[in-house]
Amino acid sequence: MNTKLHAICDSQGRPLNFFVTAGQVSDYIGAKALLNSLPDVDWLLGDRGYDADWFREALQDKGIKACIPGRRQRKKPIRYDKRRYKRRNRIEIMFGRLKDWRRVATRYDRCPKAFLSAIAIAAIVIYWL
């Protein structure tokens, strides 16, 4: 059983919100689920999986600038701030720190709610206590 964890983080890489999907599901599902819970920010950094015109338009409607590289199969390349995009490593570091918890890394829980609860407890202990 594979899962994919989608997260919203602040500028220091601390997690604010999570959403779990099946591993084979597109990143668009996670983007759509987390779109309403985005805080008031100037920029959103995301990887190529979140590159969709509807997502960019939704961010623009909220007044958020997208720093998401375009997918390789796009006919017209998308411009993005490469220097700002390098800060996305904070998000990858956050995922790595969460996986230091064995229960999260090996996914002992079969129930998605229990797994998401374990992720939330790990995030609270690591970042907020």
Kindly list the domain boundaries of the chain, sorted by start residue: 3-128
Predicted local distance difference test score (pLDDT) of residue 48: 87
CATH of 3-128, one of 3.10.50, 3.30.70, 3.40.50, 3.30.420: 3.30.420
Q: Which two tokens stand for residue 107?
A: 């996914």
3-state class (DSSP) for residue 79: coil
Fill in the amino acid letter for 99.
K
| Spatial separation of the C-alpha atoms in residues 37 and 92, rounded to whole Å | 20
The position carrying tokens 């899962």 is 3
Predicted local distance difference test score (pLDDT) of residue 1: 60
Predicted local distance difference test score (pLDDT) of residue 93: 93
Torsion angle of C-alpha atoms 100, 101, 107, 109, degrees rounded to 10: -170
Per-residue pLDDT of the chain (129 residues; tens, 9 = 90+): 678 888 999 988 899 999 888 878 888 888 888 888 888 889 999 888 888 889 999 999 999 999 999 888 888 888 888 899 899 899 999 999 999 999 888 887 888 888 899 999 999 999 988
